[in-house]
Structure 1
Amino acid sequence: MYDFAIIGGGIVGLSTGMTIGQLYPSARILVLEKENSWALHQSGNNSGVIHSGIYYKPGSYKAKFCHEGNRSLVKFCQNYEIDYEVCGKVIVATVKKELGLLDNLYKRGLENGLNVTKISAEEVQEIEPYVHCLAGIKVSTTGIVNYRQVCQKYIVLIRNQGGELCFNTKVRKVHEIGENLVLETNRGTFETRFLINCAGLYSDRIAKLGRSNPKAKIIPFRGEYYELKPEKRYLVKNLIYPVPNPDFPFLGVHFTRTIAGSVHAGPNAVLSFKREGYKKNDFDLRDFTEIITYPGLWKLAAKYADQAIEEIIRSFSKAAFVRSLQRLIPAVQADDLIPTHAGVRAQALMNNGNLVDDFLIVKSQHAIHVCNAPSPAATSSLEIGKAIARQIPEQSHLKTRVSV
């Protein structure tokens, strides 16, 4: 019998397991992961950015957890000697119509309590010499890290606390026996007093197995990247972002230096026909059928038809992708770029066609389901773990409770 079982071995599940272990040192904690390793999906296929929280609606989970998570993650990396760098980033307006949007973004940064500075085009070029723009914002607290290393340290701490982690273990059914839950998997059954669902791309399905309704479906969006050839990395010093289009829920292609020294360019955002569809030709019949028959998808497509077509064109045309990058750095040429890994964003979509724009946490008597945790979940992972731990009902059989 376990006190807590966590489904999902990504950064949110691992942070939650570590934090619950701190809250209840005597608890028996189990983390189940269907893959043969940890952080293989969203947690290990992202840009590695420690986000500041500038984009998110003031007062939202994303704004609060990202701002606090930025600081707590940096402190965590310092404490455990994980390589990171707070290098800052610039967000730039490249055409006149973006200047008002840049002002609005600056005000949002201030509302969210961030260290942001409006800078001129000349000041942008002092930071990023190859960027051509009209004006920009400097965000000093943005950083870079390898989130796989962060996840590995979470695992070490869970094990040091006595927690158990199981690879290759896929949950197939969840049912109640008295006050407990039984998880049926491909490797036998596990009984737990409380369940935390951090299954990412499959979080909505796990919630339904547990008889919870998140009122949203996970729709996978593939983000495709290029990488600057080593001899062209000088074009980017740190991180360069465009002003996001307020009529589209994704940030647009940007340049990101990684902690390993490479420079990624992207991503675009295209619908995937498989929940783990990292390649253009990846296809799963069940996933495809669920996606294509979901009314919310068609309402979303109608709302963002022009932008969606642009993203699809970028997916199949390197020239179109390069043109988008040249809005930021005109010197970038097609020959400077080579394809690199893609990521898949687990985005919750409601039946009315609205994307869930905040972290979505659904509670029931014996479970908590994290049903929308795309970016900036990695930056926010420690704060999400704390929030989940605090929402767990008091466990009277576990006498020792430590505040987190």
Structure 2
Amino acid sequence: MGVKKRFAVIGAGIIGAAVARGLVQKYDGADVTLYEKEDHPAAHQTGHNSGVVHAGLYYEPGSLKALLCRRGVSLLLDFARAHDVAFEECGKVVVATNDVEVERLEGIHARARANGVPDVELLDRDGLLEVEPNAEGVAALHSPHTGIIDYRGLTEALVADFRRSGGRVRFSTEVRKIEQRSGSTGSTAIVHSSVDSQEYEQVITCAGLQADRLAARSGEDKSPSVVPFFGQYFILEPRFNDVVNGLIYPVPDPKYPFLGVHVTRRIDGGLMIGPNAFLSFSREGYKGLGLNVPDSLAVATDPGFWKFAAGNMATAAREIGGVLSIEKFVAEAARYVPALCGADGHRATRGIRAQAMNRDGNLVDDFVIDRARATMFVRNAPSPGATSALAIAEHLIDTAALT
């Protein structure tokens, strides 16, 4: 028998779990280790997102984001069905409230069709009311196959499937750096963790909120840097659970880099609104002030952030209202779902987005994957990263196999 090929995957969020599982499936008998600094999977972005399975409405046709989203939806739902992971194809409407938004909506419709989103259609006011009787708008885009899922449960199922296939998981093991090594038989990589150092033929990092730091500690470029933005969700009291049938989104405004407040059904039957998007003072602080001094100083010394901030004061002004006032947060959602006016409820644990940013202050919109000999670094996996996770895993594994 030959020597087993050894792989390491860093990070047990949904993308890392999908990559680890994909490796043991592709390489029969391979030795694959999944590292995670927490004591459970899906501890960060995966476990704190909206739970939406995106259909691919907004993305530039032909972009990696668009291609992986459409492939990812199919793989994700097939896996969910096979492993009894809760999901619901509840549908989504993007609601236009004026003529300017109608024009933008037509552009989204064209993109959605170019991306192969199934059964997507434009609705007039009456058509919108048939789908969502409590929605208010002059037109809407309907995506009947957009859905919601239990991403935490799905990631746990991926990890369990990985283990059944012979994979090894090392929880509570933080990776400090990855060292590249060249030898007579080719390049390898040494994973230096909080516990020990191990050598592998191939390493794939999916470190999310810590992606830039791990890359920098491993000798790679600090850019794009991760600037954390938190998203606050507000879970409405149960009497509002049946106000909407699916997901209701506003039309994106190109003046702002973030989408704005939307209405989202939860897989547990509840209803929530959000998220806003505001600078986070911690990469992993999900409660309270979430203040982490090193994380805050990292943002303060990032020249790209200050260039971004200078050009986005209007965004900050729009978003701060929902941070400080639940009433303003609800009022924004009630603009297109008037039945929610005055709704009460409670704040959910916030999510934190690992937003990659270039030195010029521009947000990185597509997936970024860097290569350093025997290591691949996933530097940016923005929304729809969770939806696309199994397709991203395929892409990473296929790309690694070419070297």
TM norm structure 1 = 0.94
CA shift at 1:330, angstroms? Answer: 1.4
Q: C-alpha distance in 1, partners of 2:288/2:358?
A: 25
- Cα deviation 1:320-371 (Å, max 9, x = unaligned): 2122111111121344332112100101000101100001111121110101
Aligned-residue CA RMSD (Å)? 1.5
- Residue 38 of structure 1 corresponds to 41
Please give the secondary structure, in 1, of the residue aligned with 2:252: coil
CA contact (8 A) 1:232 1:336 kept: no
Which range moves more in the overlay, 274-283 or 372-381? 274-283
**Residue in 2 aligned with 1:241?**
249
Name the CA distance, whole Å, in 2 between partners of 1:132 and 1:214.
45
1:399 is aligned to none
Partner of 1:221: 229
Alignment of 1:351-390 (within 5 A): 351-390=359-398
What TM-score, normalized to structure 2?
A: 0.94
Cross-structure match for 1:402: none
In the alignment, the residues of structure 1 paired with residue 189 and residue 117 of structure 2 have an alpha-carbon distance, to the nearest angstrom, of: 42
1:368 and 1:230 mapped to 2: Cα distance?
45
| CA drift at 1:280 | 5.1
1:330 maps to 338
Summarize the alignment of residues 14-29 of structure 1 with structure 2, pairs less than 5 Å apart: 14-29=17-32
Given that residues 365 and 382 in structure 2 are in contact (C-alpha distance below 8 angstroms), is that contact kept between their aligned partners in structure 1? no
Pick which of 57-66 and 7-16 moved more.
57-66
Pick from 292, 299, 315: which aligns with 1:284? Answer: 292
How much does 1:237 deviate? 1.4
Matched, 1:170 2:144: no
Measured in 1, the distance between the counterparts of 2:287 and 2:97 equals: 31
CA contact (8 A) 2:355 2:380 kept: yes
Q: Which of 301, 306, 309 matches 1:298?
A: 306
Task: Say if 2:131 is the partner of 1:127.
Answer: yes
- Which residue number corresponds to residue 64 of structure 1? 67
| Aligned residue number for residue 7 of structure 2 | 4
Deviations 1:128-156 (A, max 9, x none): 11111110010122011101111111111
Q: Is the 8 A contact 2:48 2:350 kept in 1?
A: yes
**Residue 313 of structure 1, CA deviation:** 2.1
Asked whether the 8 Å contact 2:240–2:271 carries over to 1, the reply is: no
Aligned 1:136-155 pairs, distance under 5 A = 136-155=140-159
Percent identity of paired positions between Structure 1 and Structure 2: 38
The equivalent residue for 1:201 is 209
The Cα offsets for residues 289-340 of structure 1, whole Å up to 9 and x where unpaired, read as 1111111111111222111121112101112212211111112134433211
Q: Is the 8 A contact 1:2 1:30 kept in 2?
A: no
Matches within 5 A, 1:255-274: 255-274=263-282
Q: Structure 2 unaligned runs (5+)?
A: none
1:360-386 Cα distance to aligned partner (Å, 9 max, x none): 111121110101112111110010000
Secondary structure in 1 matching 2:259: coil
Residue matched to 1:105: 108
Change (3 A) 1:393 1:68: closer
For the 8 Å contact 1:214–1:371, the answer to whether it is kept is no
For residues 394 and 98 of structure 1, what CA distance do their matches in structure 2 show?
Answer: 45
Taking the aligned partners of 1:197 and 1:229, their CA distance within structure 2 comes to 40
Is contact 2:257-2:315 (8 Å) kept?
no
For residues 339 and 283 of structure 1, the distance between their equivalents in structure 2, rounded to whole angstroms, comes to 18
Number of aligned residue pairs: give it. Answer: 395
2:285 counterpart letter in structure 1: G
Take 1:363 and 1:182, find their aligned partners in 2: how far apart are those partners? Answer: 15
The SS at the match of 1:392 is helix
Q: Which consecutive residues of structure 1, in runs of 5 or more, have no partner in the other structure?
A: 396-404
